[in-house]
Amino acid sequence: MALGFYDLPYLLNIPGEKLPKVKHYYDEPHPYFGQHIVVIGAANSAVDVALETWRKGAFVTMVIREDEIRQSVKYWSRPDIINRIADGSIKAYFLSELTRITPKSVEINTPDGLVKLKNDFVMAMTGYQPPFEFMTSAGIKFNDDPDRTPVYDENTMESNVKNLYLAGVLCGGLKTNKWFIENSRVHAEMIIRDIFKKINAG
């Protein structure tokens, strides 16, 4: 089971979220050349979107609830985004949140009051939820922790359900920044190794 968690985004629940220009899924940077975009979030996805679209010619503004870029952001990306914000290449509103989206603008509640910006696209990188309901229906159990991490053998990646393995970000439960492409590729090797071991033992 390597489902990821991108089917279930956390919604903003604000006026205008259903406009076509609001994206909960990022595709590629090229269509945003010359466009005024707002990126919501301060984690890996938001940072990647902000940097990639800016490098392809977008005018990028980040809206971040926290007072800084998250410490959990990939170590090679965090200094990059911090420097781009510091030199003014990418604008960032910290301790702020989007309150309204219109076809041509957005409204941001900031510590200095309400700000209205020209806007073509909103990239809502607000995070996603693992498919807990589906996992439960498959018989997978969860640890008693705030992140609802699934039960699995860390040496084989086999879940509590015999012969059902877990791989990728799914293994982190709500801690969705624990596993990503770069550090979870080993899961496939571990799973295949265990399957071969079972076959040879049988």
pLDDT band at 124 (very low <50, low <70, confident <90, very high): very high
Identify the bridge partners of residue 39 per DSSP, sorted by sequence position.
62, 123
Any idea where the domains of the chain sit in the sequence?
Answer: 22-124, 132-201
Q: Which two tokens stand for residue 105?
A: 């603008």
What average pLDDT does range 129-158 have in this prediction? 94
- Residue 8 predicted with pLDDT over 90: no
Gyration radius of the chain over CA positions: 20
Q: Which two tokens stand for residue 197?
A: 């071991």
What average pLDDT does range 111-137 have in this prediction? 94
Closest to 175 (Cα-Cα) out of 68, 29, 12, 43: 43
Single-letter residue type at 196: F
Let me know: does 79 contact 51? Beta carbons within 8 Å. no
Let me know: does 130 contact 176? Beta carbons within 8 Å. yes
pTM of the shown model:
0.73
Q: 22-124 is classed in which CATH architecture? A: 3-Layer(bba) Sandwich (3.50)
What value does the mean pLDDT of the chain take?
94
- Residue 30 DSSP class: G
